[in-house]
Each structure stands twice: as C-alpha cells, then as structure tokens.
Structure 1
Amino acid sequence: MATTTSTALSNRNRLLGFGLATLAAIGFSGKAILVKLAYYQPIDAVTLLALRMLFSAPFFLIVAWRHVGRKDLTPLTGRDYLALLILGLLGYYLSSLFDFIGLQYISAGLERLILFLYPTMVVVLSAVVLGKPFGRKEIVALLLSYAGIGVVFFDEITIQSAHLLLGAGFVFASTLTYAAYLIGTGETVVRIGASRFTAYAMLVACLATVLQFLFTHPPQALLLPMRVYQLSLLMAIFSTVLPVFMLSAAIKMIGSSHTSLIGSLGPVATLFMASYFLGEELSLAQIGGATLVMVGVLSLSLK
C-alpha cells in the first residue's frame, strides 16, 4: 500500500513538473509578443526594459530577503559577489537589452528562433574557451540549426523592414551573451544555490537597467500610455518572475534534461502566438526553418 502511494505521488510530481516546464516555456515565449505589442506605443527599448525590471524587482527582492541571514546557506565571498555582478550584467542585463533592441526590427517568430540557438553557441564557446570535445554530431547540429535560421531569414527579407539584418544581429548578440552567461553559471549556482543566485543576479540587472535609463532619459520619459504599463506588468509577472521559478521547480521535479526538451515548445508557441496576436505571417518556410532549428538544437539536448 505504501509503495502504491509513493508511486502515485511520484507520478503526480512528475506530471506537475512537466506542466510547470510547459508553462515556463510558454511564459518565456510570450515575452516577445508583449514587447512587440508595447512597440505599437511611443516607447523605446531602454524605457520598456526599465519598466519590466522595475515591476519585476519587488518579487526578486522578496526572494533575496528570505535568504539573508540563513545559517543553512554558504556565506557569500568576494568571489561570489563578483560572479553575481558579472553574470547578472551578462545574462540578464545585456542579453535582455540586445533582445529588446532587436525586437524593434524583426518578427517575434524569428527572434525566438535565434534565441533558441543558445545551446549551439554554448557548445561552440565551450569548445573554443574550455577545450571541450567538438565532433561530427555537433557539426551536424550546427548545420541544421543555422540552415533553419537561414530559411526563415531569407523568407522574411521580402516582408520585413530594411533593418532586418540589424535586428537579427542584436538578437544574435543577445543569444551569444546568454550562452556565455550559461557557461559561467555552473560552479557559481552550485555554490550559491539556484533561487538565491537568480534573485541576486536579477537584482543586479534591474539596477543596471534603471541606471542606464536615468543616465539616458529624462524622468518624464516614464509618462506613457496606460497600455504600456499594463503590458510591462504582464511581462514582468508572466514572462519573467513566474517562468523563472516554475523552471527551477520543474528542474527539481523532472531534471534539467527533460525540462530543456520541453523548452523546445518555445519557438513553436511564439510562432503561433505571433500569428494570432500580431498578425505575423505563418508561412511554410517559417515552419520548415523552425523544424530544422529544433531538430538541430534537440540533437544536442538529447546528447
């Protein structure tokens, strides 16, 4: 009887983990849709990112405060604070800034596909910087992934603005900085703890974003239509805070491998949401390109 109960509980936890991972993937994907909707209003990337961070900061402050003074946690050293500073700026500030700028010029669907390339960049950077093995399987994965991006990119040349290359370049830079951030997080997260690391690193990014806004914009730049505040709040809650913690919970319940595989739903969700909410064309070329990208990335994830 006890074994049956334990098995049922385990199955329930796994089902919950898969559900949380799916919701996290959809939440992260919805960010591009909310950003594009906000750009229908008179707002620039720095101001929009500052609003997102301002609305997100209280949630991460609460999480950070809960970790203060806990005796069961390893005390932070100067090296830890330096790592949090660098990784917070790299993974949550620069990566987000480049992404928001890029979304001014390209479709939400293309943006999500380029961002989804980050595992391939992790493999390349790990080979170049850390000397990790790089063989035939990795080469095939790269060829498939970037061929898929090429298909979508050239399909959108005919329907996108003249700044398509500029936007794609910024989003690619976002993906590259995020990949570099992931490479640097491993040892730090283990030492600090996932939730504490995420909260502190996000607060670093929040502070950097707000400082950039204050140095580059007058205070009256925050006098915006109510629609912008609504979208920014939705972005903070449903595409930043909740997905971050749902992802952490999912990893605990079903493991990082299963969670990352479910994350492949992201580009698909973005394509369909962009078609429904933004009226972006969902062409056969986009579907074919997205398939190539996901096959290439998933071949690395499965490994």
Structure 2
Amino acid sequence: MDKKITLAGFIISLLGAILFSTKAIFVKLAFTTTGVDPVTLLSLRMLFSLPFYVFAAWLVSRKQDKIVLTRRDWLLISAMGILGYYLSSIFDFIGLQYISAGLERLILFLYPTFAVLINTFYFKAKLTRVQVAALVLTYLGIGIAYFGELRVDTSNPDFFFGSFMIFLCAITYSFYLVGTGRLVPRVGVTRYTAYAMLAATAGIFINFLVTHPVQNIPFTTPLVAYSIALAIVATVLPSFLMSNAMKRIGSNNVSIITSIGPVSTILQAHWFLGEQIIPIQIFGTILVVAGVVLIGWKR
C-alpha cells in the first residue's frame, strides 16, 4: 500500500535529491582546481565516507532480531557493492572529465529506465503502456538534450568517450538498484547500504593501491576539502535522508520527488561552473524528468 506524502517527507526527499546533485559539481571543481585523477578523488571520497558506514554497520550488528545472512546473501551484497556501486562510480568520475555536469546528470538519470528493462527482460516483469510511454519520453529527451550539448561543446575530442562512460555508469548503477530492490526486503535497508558500501570501498581501495603509489597522494587543502564535501554533502547525508524519506512516504513517492535532480544539477552547474543553459537542453530535460516521473508513478 502506498504511503501518503507528508510535508516532512517531501522536504527530506527534496533536500536529499539536491544534495545528491551536488556530486557532479564538486567533482568538476576538484578536477579543475587540483588536477586530481578520477581514481584518487574517488578513493578519497570513500575514505572520508568510510567511518559513517562502519558506524552504521556496527549499529546494525548490535540488533538482536536481525536475520542471519547466508553465504549467498554475503556474496550478493558484495557483488552489488563491487560490480554495481564501485564500477558505476569509476565510470562516472572518468566521464565527468570530458562532459558537462548537466549532461552527466541527464545521461545518468537513465538508470530507472534500465532498471525497468532489466526487470522486464531478465525477471519477466510485465511492461505496461505507461512504462512504454515513459521510456519513449525519457530517451527522446536525452536525444534532444544531447543534440543541444553537441552544439555547445563541439571542440572536446573526448566528448563521446565521456558520454559513453556515463552511459556505462547508468547501466551498472541500474543493476545495483535492481539487486537492491530484491535484497533490501530480506536484509534491511541500513544493513544492506552499509555492507554494500563497505564492499564498494574495498574495491575502490584495491584499485587505487594497484594503480597508484600511496605516498604520492596530494593531500592539499583544496583536494581534502572537496573530498570531504563529496563524502559528507554528496554521499553520506543524502543516503541517510533518502532512507528516512522512504520510511516516511514510500519509495514510489521518493522516486517522483527526486526527479528534480537533473534540474538541480543543471542550475548548480550554471551558477558554480559557468555552464551554458540553452532552450533545447531545457526541453530535453523536461521530457526526461516527465519520463522518470511516469516510471515511478503508481495508479
């Protein structure tokens, strides 16, 4: 049964979506001002996030009535963290080097449509007419916005590579979400989030240690500041806000409210990064948001 939208639930969902949308802004600012590479920045983000997820995992472990996890549960949670969140984060940070924050958010916002397609073709869920209309709207909106971006940023030779990286990010993140939807009812949202994030952090740290010498990390003040902002403002705070909002008003209502994300990113990118906003991008964004709202809608 769907929960009713309350003022508190609405505000918490909206704040969580806006904080999540700051991620691309902090990443772009870090790349521009510090020259850091994606793997180092991502590793620092997870380093500063780690204490919060360890604390959450410890709190959950103290509960007496928790379900005992099987070996299969542990493997699936680890797979979701490493193959889903870790891979999607790597693709996202690489792609953000080459395309605008606004376009990154729009391409990434395809993940609900990919989740629908995975459930349809792999788990044999029925695709409704509303979902078909939503898919058409979403992909049409992405095409229009992408065409507009091509007109603005034609000089970047790595534009298509960056777009492809964000596309891969959306695909891998959709697998993470589908797995999340099937594991959370059994495991619990806080325990699942904490354990999956710990697995993702392990993957990211191993990646860094294999490819970078630890002593070469440039712990400059700007880099540490951006990393902490990414960890607290764009990762930990919004994740807990979203969990709280889902408890208050349900996941369907949260998914609709958080459709404000791309609009928030585009406006922030304009204000803080000086990215252009042109009418064709606005039109494409409206179609994408409308499509995602339809996907999250339940009659």
TM-score if structure 1 supplies the norm length? 0.93
5+ unaligned residues in a row in structure 2: which ranges? none
Q: Tell me the secondary structure at the aligned position of residue 270 of structure 1.
A: helix
Give CA deviations for 1:183-211 in whole Å, capped at 9, x if unaligned.
12223111111001101110111111011
After TM superposition, where is structure 1 displaced by more than 2 Å over at least 4 residues in a row? 134-140
Alpha-carbon spacing, 1:159–1:221, altered in 2? closer, same or farther (3 Å): farther
Q: Which residue of 2 aligns with 1:21?
A: 13
1:257 paired residue among 240, 247, 252: 252
Aligned residue pairs total 293
Give, as a single letter, the amino acid of the residue that structure 2 aligns with 1:126.
Answer: N
1:109 aligned residue: 102
Give the counterpart letter for 1:38 in structure 2: A
d(CA) in 2 for partners of 1:19, 1:146: 29
Match of 1:84 among 72, 77, 82: 77
Q: Does 1:34 align with 2:29?
A: no
Aligned to 1:4: none
The whole-number CA distance in structure 1 between the counterparts of 2:58 and 2:92 is 29
Asked whether 1:222 is paired with 2:214, we answer: no
More deviation in 153-162 or 24-33?
153-162
Q: 1:139: Cα distance to partner?
A: 2.8
Q: Residue 22 of structure 2 aligns to a residue in which SS?
A: helix
Q: Deviation per CA, 1:226-284, whole angstroms, max 9, x where unpaired?
A: 11110110110011001001000001111111111110110010010000000000111
- SS of the residue corresponding to residue 76 of structure 1 reads coil
Segments of structure 1 that go 5 or more residues without pairing to the other structure are 1-9
* Maintained 8 Å contact 2:108/2:167: yes
* 1:158 alignment counterpart: 151
Residue 137 of structure 1 corresponds to 130
Moved more, 19-28 or 181-190: 181-190
Aligned to 2:281: 286
Question: Does 1:93 find its partner at 2:71?
Answer: no
Q: Which residue does 2:297 correspond to in 1?
A: 302
> Structure 2: how far apart are the matches of 1:81 and 1:67?
15
Deviation at 1:159, TM superposition (A): 2.8
The secondary structure found in structure 2 opposite 1:74 is: coil
Q: Which of the numbers 191, 195, 201 marks the counterpart of 1:196?
A: 191
What's the RMSD between the two structures over aligned residues? 1.6
Report SS of the residue matched to 2:152: coil
CA distance in 1: counterparts of 2:130 and 2:254, whole angstroms:
22
Deviations 1:158-197 (A, max 9, x none): 3321211111111111111111111122231111110011
Residue aligned with 1:158, SS: helix
**Is 1:52 aligned with 2:45?**
yes
Q: Which moved more, 1:185-194 or 1:51-60?
A: 185-194
The structural deviation recorded for 1:69 is 4.0
Given candidates 116, 123, 131, the residue that maps to 1:123 is: 116
TM-score, length-normalised on structure 2?
0.94
Among 46, 58, 66, which residue is 1:65 paired with? 58
- Of stretches 131-140 and 227-236 in structure 1, the one that deviates more from structure 2 is 131-140
2:233 to 238, 241, 249: 238
